[in-house]
Amino acid sequence: MSVSTLALNDGSQVPWMAFGTGTALYRKDAEDAIRLAIDNGFTHLDGAQVYANEDSMGQGIVASGKSRSELFITTKLTALKPGATPKSALEESLKKLKVDYVDLYLIHQANDHVGKLKEVWKGMEEAQKAGLTKSIGVSNFTADHLNDILEIATVPPAVNQASCRESYDGVEAHPYVWKALQANLAIHKQYKIVTSSYGGLSPIFRAQGGPLDPVVEKIRVRLETTRGSPVSDGQVLNKWLQQNGVLVVTTSSKAERIREYLDTQNVPELTADELALIETAGGQLHKRFFVSSDLNG
């Protein structure tokens, strides 16, 4: 099964759904999880230096038997050690991941580099120029953080990803924060920065009984009837994210759930009215789920 992709502003293509190695795999052996994900169709693997599992992630990649060109690998820069640069930090990650380059390298958290964001972004551009990463971007950046680096950027960020390592003013993308995200989305649109979301299914898994529930159920029934085979609540929300051009990062330890996530691209498209209905219902409740105490994302 070929995976749908999103176009990045540097000309590259990124698979629209990634398998994440934070959350349940934070500081744990990720080899079996990576193999399970690849065996069941994932080609985009999302890691980070702070997850402390790049070594086992690399072992899973090697054990999968997939060629490097078949995979899209993301990692993220954590706080720099004295004397280190984004380039030298990525060189360490590449050794652990057992690859010559990554496809996407992100600054994980602006708060790791207070007062040094411009300098760090220049270092990201240097890593890209050296061929260690095809694309560069950021994670959990507010509109202010983006504007800060865009003042000096030769290369604008290709992606701004939300993750569980979330601050109250960072990026978290799902219907219950969509209205609050508009300042970010306006900059993303201007510079063609892809919005990436972790925890996009939070409204149905972490806020049951909210205004979104009956809307999702109504759409799910319609999609299931149109498709002639089962459609889950999660697929409805993931389809909404996909049609909004959002790169989804997800995870599971169950092969059946992994296949369900990837099968979202085969679910019929939501109508314009259904897309709007989800946005309107989401706007009735402002709810964030990941805050700065959740340091595993």
pLDDT in tens, 168-197: 344 678 998 898 888 899 999 999 999 998
Catalytic residue among 26, 51, 176, 198: 51
Residue 164 lies in a domain: yes
Residue 280 lies in a domain: no
* Token digits of residue 206: 């972490």
279 pLDDT more than 90: yes
Domain hosting 31: range is 5-202+241-266
Residue 177 lies in a domain: yes
Residue 232 lies in a domain: no
Residue 211 lies in a domain: no
Per-residue pLDDT reduced to its tens digit, 99-148: 999 999 999 999 999 999 999 999 999 999 999 999 999 999 999 999 99
44 annotated ligand binder: no
Residue 128 lies in a domain: yes
If one counts the domains in the chain, the total is 1
| High-pLDDT (> 90) share of the chain, % | 81
74 pLDDT more than 50: yes
Cβ of 229: how many Cβ atoms within 10 Å?
A: 10
* Token digits of residue 195: 């919005």
Integer CA distances (angstroms), 143 to 8, 13, 73, 214, 226, in order: 19, 24, 26, 32, 39
Integer CA distances (angstroms), 90 to 48, 50, 64, 217, 238, in order: 10, 12, 23, 44, 31
Single pTM value for the model: 0.93
- Asked if 279 contacts 243 with a C-beta cutoff of 8 angstroms, the reply is no
Where residue 23 sits, what CATH number does that domain have? 3.20.20.100
* Token digits of residue 182: 């508009």
Rounded Cα–Cα distance for residues 290 and 151 (Å): 29
Residue 289 lies in a domain: no
Residue 225 lies in a domain: no
Quick check: is 168 catalytic? no
